[in-house]
């Protein structure tokens, strides 16, 4: 159904009416490099027809080491792709099997070498907290990733999304999650190892060499507006947040019938938008700039969340000065719990 899906995507993009100029473009939330060269060419041509890149546009595409090859990389390079985000996940075969990844560690080395020959930036994604994973194995994964000299590294703690095979295995007792102390030790080691290697820890899960931060993702973390097209796509435009259906057949049927594929749509009230802005901006190492926050939301940070902020400062989870508010190292360890308290 790939070609039919690409046709539907083209129809949805055409709803813009005219091309929209964009400063960043991110193709992912799936594995676009699963497409063959012809399909990949069609996808990128369609995207750039309606989402017109600025001359210095950052164009990122997610890739699977097992399905990315020299011919596909040539297609990406010809379309001025500037970053490839490669889902390495681990360099241990037994952990890749647990994660149900279809590539082998050697595929990562091959893919990185081929990408670097044509495309400016290589980004690697790694996962820690995999069932059966030891701290030593995580240390090895980091070392092997660094040996490839990537421009950007993302380290994600494994999450068990309801309905997935991993979630069902966990529910059924077939696998045992890594305990919290071990997972924390892995996260802390990742921070120290990558910071020591010259990477900036610029967001909870993301590290970049100086000048190589993901411009696209920084839009999300600033809570600024972005388009979203395709199955399961999210968008945030003029304060309205919308989500497309995740059902493939439903997406194709609706779009080709001239109907919207949107399944959720909400216009956030001003205070709710401001609180959400706090939650996402706190994920950044730079934290929240008070003046920028007031300019963006029309509200004073301390007036809105002063008591919660004071409590977190007292607990050593947040630090502040006259300009910025940011998580401390300890705060980063419990970031999800901390940011949740600013949403209520």
**7 in Cβ contact with 256 (< 8 Å):** yes
Answer whether residue 7 shows pLDDT above 80.
yes
Predicted confidence band at 344 (pLDDT cuts at 50, 70, 90)? Answer: confident
Query: How deeply is 84 buried, as exposed, middle or buried, from its count of CB atoms within 10 A (0-12, 13-18, 19+)?
Result: buried
Instruction: Sketch the domain layout of the chain as residue ranges.
Output: 2-218, 270-340
> Which residues are paired to 235 by β-bridges?
242
Q: Which of 87, 76, 3 is nearest to 39 (CA)?
A: 3
Predicted confidence band at 101 (pLDDT cuts at 50, 70, 90)? Answer: very high
Answer whether residue 201 shows pLDDT above 90.
yes
Answer whether residue 161 shows pLDDT above 90.
no
State residue 94's pLDDT score.
Answer: 96
Q: What is the CATH number of domain 270-340?
A: 1.10.10.920
Predicted confidence band at 31 (pLDDT cuts at 50, 70, 90)? Answer: confident
- Nearest 5°: the CA angle 187, 189, 194 is 100
State residue 231's pLDDT score.
Answer: 96
Answer whether residue 30 shows pLDDT above 80.
no
Phi and psi at residue 230, in whole multiples of 5°? 110, 175
Predicted confidence band at 92 (pLDDT cuts at 50, 70, 90)? Answer: very high
* CATH class of the domain defined by 2-218: alpha beta
How many other C-beta atoms are found inside a 10 Å radius of the C-beta of residue 52?
A: 14
Q: Cα 44 from chain centroid?
A: 20
pTM: 0.94
> Same fold for the domain at 2-218 and the one at 270-340?
no
């Amino acid at each position: 159904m790939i070609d039919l899906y690409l046709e539907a995507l083209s129809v949805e993009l055409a709803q813009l009416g005219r091309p929209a100029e964009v400063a960043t473009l991110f193709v992912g939330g799936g594995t676009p490099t699963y497409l063959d060269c012809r399909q990949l060419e069609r996808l990128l041509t369609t995207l750039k027809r309606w989402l017109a890149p600025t001359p210095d546009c950052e164009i990122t595409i997610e890739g699977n080491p097992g399905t990315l090859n020299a011919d596909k990389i040539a297609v990406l390079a010809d379309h001025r792709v500037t970053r490839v985000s490669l889902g390495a996940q681990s360099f241990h075969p037994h952990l890749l099997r647990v994660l149900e990844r279809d590539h082998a560690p050697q595929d990562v080395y091959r893919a990185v070498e081929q990408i670097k020959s044509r495309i400016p930036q290589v980004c690697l994604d790694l996962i820690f907290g995999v069932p059966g994973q030891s701290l030593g194995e995580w240390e090895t994964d980091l070392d092997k990733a660094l040996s490839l000299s990537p421009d950007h590294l993302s380290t994600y703690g494994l999450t068990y999304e309801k309905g997935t095979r991993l979630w069902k295995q966990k529910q059924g007792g077939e696998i045992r999650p890594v305990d919290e102390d071990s997972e924390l030790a892995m996260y802390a080691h990742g921070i120290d190892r990558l910071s020591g290697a010259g990477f900036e820890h610029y967001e909870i899960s993301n590290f970049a060499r100086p000048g190589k931060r993901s411009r696209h993702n920084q839009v999300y973390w600033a809570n600024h507006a972005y388009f979203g097209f395709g199955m399961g796509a999210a968008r945030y435009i003029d304060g309205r947040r919308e989500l497309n259906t995740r059902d493939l057949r439903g997406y194709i049927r609706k779009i080709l019938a001239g109907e919207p594929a949107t399944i959720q749509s909400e216009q956030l009230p001003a205070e709710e938008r401001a609180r959400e802005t706090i939650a996402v901006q706190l994920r950044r190492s730079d934290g929240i700039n008070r003046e920028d926050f007031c300019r963006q939301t029309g509200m004073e940070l301390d007036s809105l969340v002063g008591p919660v902020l004071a409590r977190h400062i007292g607990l050593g989870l947040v630090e502040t000065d006259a300009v910025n508010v940011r998580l401390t190292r300890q705060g980063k360890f419990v970031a999800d719990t901390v940011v949740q308290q600013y949403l209520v």
